[in-house]
A and B are shown apart, each in its own frame.
Chain A
Amino acid sequence: MIKTTKLLTSLALAAGISVAAQAADTVVRHLHLNNDPRIPAMWEEFAKEFEASNPGVDVQIEFLENEAFKAKLPTMLQSKSKPDVFYSWGGQNFADRAEAGLLQDVSGLAGGLQKNLSSGGMSAFTVGGKVYGAPYMVSQVGFWYNKKLFAQAGVKAEEIKTWDDLLEAVKTLKKAGITPIAAGGADKWPIHFYTTYLAMRTGGQDTFNSALAEDVSWDNPDYVKAFKLFTDLVALEPFQSGFMAAGYGDASGTFGDHKAAMHLMGEWDIGVQRDQSQSKEGVKDEDLGFFNFPSVPDGKGAGTDTLGGINGWAFSKGASPEAVKWIEFFLAKEQQSREAAAGFIIPVAKGADKAVNDPHKSIIAKNLAKAEWHQVFWDQALGSDVGGVINDVSAELATGDVSPEDAAARIQEAWELR
């Protein structure tokens, strides 16, 4: 009976018949894609605290799975049900949306954000001098590895300095009967970490900037060489069998189930591999290690350059001042410190980095501090057209379906036609 009533109520709600008188509240809808359930749970606490001191505001934390999020966002932002605040990777996609009028200029209300957050982070969410969002965390992609499996095969992570060292390690692991690397090939973007990191190593920041400025093309010799280096790895068959059918979550689970020794991923994977593993324990902290993406000795890029994200929150067109207020609270030093202390993020609020005590995250925080060039994920930085093609050709390189030369040429073609 109760269930029937519930059903009827929900039907009535769905039919647009308002039964409750909650309309007085300003609702702030906050859309994220974090599939580590502990993090949104903490956000719910933030929301309660915020609501307590801001009566009349109702913060709703909403979730969409990563791939669904990316597929849905373009249409969602044009609809009435768009969220007020949504997850963003910054980069050209963010700028495109700002220029297309899909985002809310909150410059007038952003004083608090600018005071609290690192200026480098804020600049990633500023387009043409106007603030459309705010940074939430920084991340770095690198190799996560399973210390037990490495020890079993006799591989030492500290000795993997160059790309050739990595290839040797893969061979050794294979000999020991261990799957060297987990990869989520079906989602394609996990593979583009390899190709673009290598391109950063072979070409360095100068080549990247020249390509952006169209002084050199994207099919320049450095990038072709990077793709060739990737195919050297592919030739060793380093990935778990069926990796092209596995999405990011599947691959993360493979790593979390101790079935592969490495996973090239950002530090968010610490939580995800745990959550996606069958035991829900994943690779425990003491067995989990991290090393930087190897260098390419004769390349133009430094081994300390980092690929990762400055991820944050974008305000969609029509977002209320309350939404800005909420994000200011959400990103304040205190909240950022709590998340950092729980090992969830590397924070961007000034002074919150002291709270990072997770051993892995503090390594990454140091790496990021050392890096002269921190590049945002290419598939986001270069916009959806070019980014999509980079992901496509990376996946095709992983199966040997495209030559390095053709892969680079397709990126250049996409760049010209973007």
Chain B
Amino acid sequence: MAKQNSIQSPVTNLVRLAVLFFFSGIMLIPFWVTVIGGFKSLGDLRVNPFALPTEWDFSIYGTILTSADTWKMMGNSVIVTGLSILLVLLVASMVAFTFSHIRFAGKKYLYNYLIAGMMFPAATAILPLFIKVRDLGLLDTYPGIILPQVAFGLAMSMMFFRTFFEQLPQDLFEAALVDGCGYTRFFFTIVLPLSTPILATVGVFILVGSWNNYIMPLIFVNDTDLYTWPLGLMAYRGEYGVEWNKILAYVTVTIFPAIMFFLFAQKYIVAGLSQGAVKG
């Protein structure tokens, strides 16, 4: 595509690359010092944050990786995030389908009612939400963390789905109806299988939000057995104070899954987070 590089002088291009490499350096230094910091002794870290460790210390990473707690909270995060994604995909796509394919009275009002959820952050009603979750007996349960996240992720996801569903060819549905296929079956057997791109987009959207969510588990979870990784990380930080080598190692371990996922699935992530936004 845009081959404007071809008409740029080599000097311009060199300056361009220099600027880009400089910025890349700034972007990457925090990652570098974090990963490498976990291999250093505290004294080494103090005088030498940038370079490789003078003496490699593998024990910190070893302790963290062999600790059952680490795996437990990662497991919790996987469960919470996985169920959140599944629920949002199902619930939001179903409701979006009624908006895109079924005529019914009050549709516009109902749509605006749901879409209003996109306009404000979860924090606005967090205290009443806490009381609600408490009174429902959902504190320290998976549903207690998952359902509020799903509720706040619904609006945006529904909008994505609706836009996508409306672009599906109309004759598809007419043909299905003629064949005696009702709305429900049409949705599950034809619409959903055709929707993998938007399912991936929304899925990534919810994944990043839920995996990284701190405020909801912070308020709704007290049981250390149910800690998700951001809670575990902050508790670890509290426990070890200024032992930055330990904390950096812990950070590295906890962000590793996200970084790996990002590197392998970057295409979908970038599409999901940026193009999705533009189209929406």
A residues engaging B (CB < 8 A)? 3, 6-7, 10-11, 13-15, 35, 62-68, 72, 75-76, 78-82, 247, 249-250, 253, 276, 278
Contacts and interface: CB of A to CB of B under 8 A. Distances in A.
B235 A68 contact: yes
A66 B238 CA distance: 8
22 contacts: A6-B68, A6-B71, A7-B75, A10-B72, A11-B72, A13-B72, A14-B72, A14-B225, A15-B79, A64-B235, A65-B238, A65-B239, A68-B234, A68-B235, A68-B238, A75-B139, A76-B222, A79-B140, A80-B139, A81-B222, A249-B242, A250-B242
B219 A14 contact: no
Given A14-B79, A68-B234, A79 B239 contact: no
Interface residues on B, range: 20 to 34
Nearest to A275: B241
Given A75-B219, A75-B222, A82-B222, A10 B75 contact: yes
B222 A79 contact: yes
B interface, over-half SS: helix
B224 interface: yes
Contact of B239 (A35, A72, A81, A278): A35
List 5 tightest A-B contacts by C-beta distance, closest first: A65-B238, A81-B223, A79-B139, A249-B241, A76-B222
A220 B3 CA distance: 76
Contacts of A67: 238
B126 to A, nearest CB: 11
B47 to A, nearest CB: 12
Contacts of A13: 72, 225
A125 B197 CA distance: 61
Interface in B222-243: 222-226, 234-235, 238-239, 241-242
Contacts of A249: 241-242
A136 B28 CA distance: 50
A65 B72 CA distance: 20
A384 to B, nearest CB: 15
A80 B238 CA distance: 23
Contacts of B66: 3
A18 to B, nearest CB: 12
Nearest to A81: B223
Contacts of A81: 139-140, 222-223, 226
Contacts of A66: 238
Contacts of B106: none
Nearest to A83: B222
B132 interface: no
B71 A7 contact: yes
**Which of A14, A62, A72 has most chain B Cβ within 10 Å?**
A14
A75 B130 contact: yes
Interface string B155-189: 00000000000000000000000000000000000
B101 interface: no
Interface string B136-162: 010110000000000000000000000
Given A78-B134, A81-B140, A11 B235 contact: no
Contact of B241 (A62, A64, A253): A253
Contacts of B42: 278
B75 A79 contact: no
B241 A247 contact: yes
Nearest to B46: A278
A78 B139 contact: yes
Given A10-B75, A72-B222, A81-B140, 11 more contacts: A10-B71, A13-B225, A14-B75, A65-B239, A66-B238, A75-B130, A75-B139, A75-B222, A79-B222, A249-B241, A250-B242
Contacts of B137: 80
A76 to B, nearest CB: 4
Contacts of A82: 222
B76 to A, nearest CB: 6
B121 interface: no
A65 B224 CA distance: 13
A14 B226 contact: yes
A69 B130 CA distance: 18
Nearest to A65: B238
Nearest to A78: B134
Given A14-B79, A15-B79, A65 B225 contact: no
Contacts of B241: 247, 249-250, 253, 276
Contacts of B220: 75
Nearest to B242: A250
Interface in B33-73: 42-43, 66, 68, 71-72
A3 B72 CA distance: 12
